[in-house]
Amino acid sequence: MKKSKKWFAVVVAGALMASVLAGCSVDEKTSESGTAQEETNQGDGEGTVTKSDKEGSFKIGIAAREITNDYNRSIVSAAQKMIEDAGGSVVIADAQSDVQKHNENIENLINSGIDGLIVHLGDPEQMAPLMEEAEKKGIPVITNGVGSPVAHTLGDVNGDDPLMATLASDALLASIGYAGDVYVVWVPGAPLLETRKRIFESIAADYPDVTIHEVPAEHNPAKVQTQIEEILTANPDEGSIAGIFGTYDQLVSGASEAIRRAGRGDEIKMVGIDGDVLGFQMLFQEDSPFISTVVMDTESIGKQSAEVLLGVMNGEVDPATVNKKIPASCYVATRKNGVEAAEMKWGKNFWEDAGLVKEDVEKTFPKKEEVVVTLPSIP
């Protein structure tokens, strides 16, 4: 593998993906679990707080760094529903991608009289002192999506990122014949994305005909579209770009659009991770470069987070027996098994939600492979 470090300018694009870029304070389906949203200003930053509209016998706080896409919403809403079904009330604080605000929200929740806390995303080192504060107050805390255990917490529930990145890497490298120029799109400083990028690079290192180019980005598909448009312009010849490794689906949705508009969807191969609705929409576009997404069972991440926390709170689970890393299952979705994979992830309503006709997709992409669910074994 040859590695070329090229840092591309990040330029603000137009209105691409405006709907997915808009921040969401909570799952759009919160009415199903009985919540009312109220926006508040906490400190100097902006953010939203969502509270259960009925008081429960106990109160759980959920501090989310952001709730902006299917991944976030699925995790938070699944945890929320399980807690409310168990008789508790929930307070959700969404920092809307503001790290400082996220830490402030955590501290505010700890001091608000909650009985337990779930933290969605964050930096382990920054959160550790806050988790110690919660521990001193007798508040059990579990994290999800952090990617590594945080001191003074029960553990972290998340997809197995090295495993998912390995599956995505294998899919991309096989599709390009283990040769060519591959562009890796990730957000510097985001722990999970750094891990996924590092795994891809380590696997690609076994193939001397693969050259990696780094594309550092922001969490903004429109800006990524502009970056990829510039790369396409600089590399107009067929075969000059073999593939794109997307560290998550939504991040490279703009890249997919740029490649489609350039008419190079058959030439360039792209993969992602998460299995968002958007990821499946890209997968089912005939002229799309997007050939595979590694689907993470995000609903189970939210459920397991709530289940472990509730078990510790009611004394049914000994905190000492909780694994510090609790992985969720995953599976590879391609055009050969995409219909089944989409319904496994999102249910029968996926087609209406995605604006697709199942029969048309089945005709265009008939089933040729089974979905294989993968879960790491923990002794």
Residue-level pLDDT at 13: 35
Q: Tell me the percentage of the chain whose pLDDT exceeds 70.
A: 87
Mean pLDDT of 307-314: 98
For the chain, which residues make up each domain, given as ranges?
Answer: 2-17+161-297+329-364, 23-158+299-327
List the one residue out of 85, 124, 73, 64 whose CA is nearest residue 310.
85
For residue 2, what pLDDT band results from cuts at 50, 70 and 90?
low
Residue-level pLDDT at 43: 39
Distances (CA, A) of 153 to 102, 126, 127, 146: 17, 13, 10, 12
Q: In 13-69, which residue ranges form alpha helices assigned H by DSSP?
A: 18-21
More confident residue, 26 or 295: 295
List the one residue out of 160, 146, 176, 200 whose CA is nearest residue 331.
160
Write out pLDDT tens, residues 127-145: 999 999 999 999 999 999 9
Taking domain 23-158+299-327, whether its CATH number is 3.40.50.2300 is answered by yes
Tokens of 132: 């110690």
Is a pLDDT exceeding 50 seen at residue 274? yes
Q: Are 131 and 310 in contact (CB under 8 A)?
A: no
Are 2-17+161-297+329-364 and 23-158+299-327 in the same CATH fold? Answer: yes
Handedness of CA 278, 279, 282, 283 (dihedral sign): negative
Mean pLDDT of 312-336: 96
Residue-level pLDDT at 249: 96
Write out pLDDT tens, residues 8-63: 333 323 333 333 333 332 233 322 223 233 333 333 446 788 787 778 899 999 99
Residue-level pLDDT at 17: 38
Mean pLDDT, the chain, rounded, equals 88
Residue-level pLDDT at 34: 31
> Around Cβ 350, how many Cβ atoms within 10 Å?
18
Write out pLDDT tens, residues 64-94: 999 988 889 999 999 999 999 999 999 999 9
Mean pLDDT of 157-184: 97
At the second CATH level, the architecture of 2-17+161-297+329-364 is: 3-Layer(aba) Sandwich (3.40)
Is a pLDDT exceeding 50 seen at residue 196? yes
Does residue 188 sit in helix, strand or coil?
Answer: coil
